[in-house]
Structure 1
Amino acid sequence: MQVQVHPPNPQWPQAFAAEAAQVALALSDNVIQVHHIGSTAILGIYAKPVIDLLVEVNQVERVDAHNDAMVALGYSALGEYGIAGRRYFRKESGQGDRTHHVHTFQVGSAEVVRHLAFRDFMIAHPNCAQQYSDLKRQLAAQYVHDIEGYMDGKDKFVKMMEQRALHWRGLA
């Protein structure tokens, strides 16, 4: 997988909204709210062109009954995929490039709190968002064909910002 980060795209919020509406219908009345997370949710920064959706549901176990509806939208249903209490779906383009990730958690999950705090902190602190953008561009150039190296390179910064975000929210 080639690592590419793209300049900020003003279409990312609209792409999120269109996909969120379809995902909410597919997952039915279990859905409480769909959030835009990840770098495409932070205006003005470079990002892999993948729309990340965080779906809060009443009962995460009920999501499994809607896997076929998600598959009909073009998603692969991957279960917890390494995070207990999550249901994860991934969508790819016809060329095999990832286009969307859906992270589904039960309402009140610590994962929901963490993701939203990070996003909101970055939006409220453009200087931190710019540091993140610069780091992503540097790592993408350094690890062109190594997604693991790219992800590992971001890890320390992301964890530091998550802690700052949780503090900022009064949650840590």
Structure 2
Amino acid sequence: MTTVEIVGGPEALEITLHDYDPRWPDVFVEHRNRIREALAPSVVEIEHIGSTSVPGLAAKPIVDIVVAVDDITAEEDYLEPLIAVGYELRVREPGHRLVRTPARDVHVHLYERGAAAIDEYLLLRDHLRRDADDCALYERTKRSLLTRRWDDMNDYADAKTDVITAVKERARAARTE
């Protein structure tokens, strides 16, 4: 049985999409530097992921970052330093932790180095950056989901799964061409 701890419980929120903001990469760089400094001397991999990492794509104004750490179970090595520089723990589950800013405008996903989830995030990001048709499809899907009320961000994310899976299948196929 998989145990997922959502710190603070489900949160009702209004999901809005914003046109692409060219400041999002700068927000990523600011947080990448903060994370790198907090976790020094450990060498961690830090990548900008999610819709805010795709130029031109409308997105929720939340910058998503993925960080690869050596041992996800050694929370003292990364969680305590991140909390000390202002992030808050939101999700703890096997193989994954999520911390975020108090303003909820930056989400930092932590995985163990080599985790398949990291490759999946990067596969989607890189494909959407290259493929205008799939990028447009993904944006249309997100816009259509805005017509519904979401009691929790996780439910909204789950509703995009079929489209994301199809896009990633095309991305894998494009790699072999």
Task: Answer yes or no: is the 8 Å Cα contact 1:4–1:144 preserved in 2.
Answer: no
Partner Cα separation in structure 2 for residue 18 and residue 61 of structure 1: 26
Quick check: 4-13 or 24-33, which moved more? 24-33
1:159 aligns with 2:154: no
Quote the residue 1:30 is aligned against. Answer: 42
Aligned-pair identity in percent equals 28
Pair 86,64 (structure 1): closer, same or farther in 2 beyond 3 Å = farther
**Of the candidates 163, 166, 175, which is equivalent to residue 169 of structure 1?**
175
> Residue type of the partner of 2:69?
V
Aligned-residue CA RMSD in angstroms? 2.0
Quote the residue 1:102 is aligned against. Answer: 108
Shift of 1:119: 0.5
Shift of 1:74: 2.2
Matched residue count? 163
Partner Cα separation in structure 2 for residue 169 and residue 110 of structure 1: 17
SS at match of 1:60: coil
**Higher share in helix:** 1
Partner Cα separation in structure 2 for residue 163 and residue 64 of structure 1: 37
What 5-or-longer segments of structure 2 have no aligned partner?
1-12
Partner Cα separation in structure 2 for residue 56 and residue 169 of structure 1: 23
If the length of structure 1 is used for normalisation, what is the TM-score? 0.84
What 5-or-longer segments of structure 1 have no aligned partner?
none
Pair 65,108 (structure 1): closer, same or farther in 2 beyond 3 Å = closer
Partner Cα separation in structure 2 for residue 63 and residue 165 of structure 1: 33
Quote the residue 1:143 is aligned against. Answer: 148
